[in-house]
Amino acid sequence: MKLLILFIVALVIASGLAYQVHIDPGYALLRYGTWSVETSLAVMVFILLVAFVVLAMLFKALLGIKRTPKRLQKWNKHRVQRRSIKELNQGLLNSAEGNWKRSEKLLTKHAKQSETPLLNYLSAAHAAQAQGAYDRRDEYLLKAGDALPEQAHAIHLTRAKLQFSAGQFEQALATLQQLLSVTPNHPIVLSLLLKTLSQLNDWEAIHKLLPIVKSNRNIQADEWEAVEIQTLTKLLTSKSQNNDPELDTLWHSLSKKQKLSANYLSIYAGHKIAKKDEKDVSDLIVKSIKTTQDESLIDLYCQLDISPDLQIKQLEKWLNILPSSTILLNHIARLSLSEKQWGKTSSFLQQSINIKPTSLAYLLQGRLHEEQGETPEKAAEFYRAGIEIANNLLTTELVAVADNTKQAN
């Protein structure tokens, strides 16, 4: 379209000039020393136009020749970049398909010329790790740092992730501690550090880290809740087994809700009961069962140094919230039996067996018949039933353990 317009404009100008020359051709004289040229003005203008066009073409040709090396360099650069993009895409596709060796080769071939060298090197590091080539992985990470030093944080974070997934927890810990010193509130760094310390079973370090993790709004609660439970359970168990004086300090650092949790209270209270130091433990157990309705603490309550009649009264109160608990019914029956309350014992044992037959309920039934002086055969029948349930339960547990061991191997 432009060419057409220029042609029309040139045609109009040429026509105008031709008409003007036809009316008055004009006269032109050029002299230089003894030389002189005479011609019409129209011819002179035509010669000048031709000379201008020729000079312009020569100038453009020379300029083009001068720019040729740069153009060739630019063309070659674009060609290499197009090839690097193509091979980057192919490398990522091979990585997705698990062709790690091919992927690594494609990703590193033109990484230096790539517009995204960080992506090339980090992806190549993943491919190398998948092949167990940890030295090559670290080499690619170093090259990524050399190519883009401003992305050092992202590269170190990738290194930590790869070390963690490779089971190199000590190395991952060192990398993460370095990152934490630079970005102490980075959520990914904190989450990965928490997981790494869990793998290293460093519960003291986790306990110190948890407040920082919990206060970070960018870390979801489900990322640390299970770790916190495991950490506190391990620490409480360890300190109670070793009679560590820091046990009480740790216990008092727990929140009110945590102190009522059976996960923690069973460990702490069990230690205190064993040491004959039951101060405040009884109230905690009572409050916990009332609040959480966790029947696992009933056994612990019955270990307290409290008279049987007071224990029975408290256990009967819990029947309002745990009416179907065979553990609760069996304990009431056991305590009633110790107090020689035969009718009450029989009633609670029958309720327990109706809900779910248990070994303890049948054994208590046998003992009740013995205490009442009934025939030995009747008591033996209940004892056999209790032992049979216990044996079946033990067999089931042993089979489950064997299956789990087989699956683990």
Give the model's pLDDT for residue 285: 93
Alpha-carbon distance of 355 to 340, in angstroms, equals 24
pLDDT digits (tens, 9 = 90+) for 52-111: 767 777 777 777 676 656 655 654 555 555 666 676 677 678 777 888 888 888 878 777
Alpha-carbon distance of 240 to 271, in angstroms, equals 6
Is 357 inside any structural domain? Answer: yes
Percent of the chain whose predicted confidence (pLDDT) is above 70: 81
Is 387 inside any structural domain? Answer: yes
Using alpha carbons, select from 355, 331, 336, 356 the residue that is nearest to residue 346. Answer: 336
Q: How confident is the model at residue 2 (pLDDT cuts 50, 70, 90)?
A: low
Instruction: Please answer whether residues 125 and 139 qualify as being in contact, where contact means their C-beta atoms are separated by less than 8 angstroms.
Output: no
Is 73 inside any structural domain? Answer: no
Average pLDDT over residues 34-47: 69
Length of the chain in terms of residues written: 409
Alpha-carbon distance of 145 to 129, in angstroms, equals 18
pLDDT digits (tens, 9 = 90+) for 109-160: 777 777 778 888 888 898 899 999 999 999 989 988 888 888 889 999 999 9
Phi, psi of 244, deg, nearest 5: -70, 125
Is 344 inside any structural domain? Answer: yes
Instruction: Please answer whether residues 339 and 309 qualify as being in contact, where contact means their C-beta atoms are separated by less than 8 angstroms.
Output: yes
Is 371 inside any structural domain? Answer: yes
Give the model's pLDDT for residue 75: 46
Domain housing 392: 318-409
- Separation in Å, CA 213 to CA 11, 156, 335, 357: 81, 20, 47, 46
Is 53 inside any structural domain? Answer: no
Average pLDDT over residues 177-195: 94
Does residue 269 register a pLDDT over 80? yes
Is 388 inside any structural domain? Answer: yes
pTM above 0.85, yes or no: no
Is 72 inside any structural domain? Answer: no
Q: What total of structural domains would you count in the chain?
A: 1
Residue type, 180: L
Average pLDDT over residues 394-404: 75
Question: CATH number for the domain including 335?
Answer: 1.25.40.10
DSSP state of 254: S
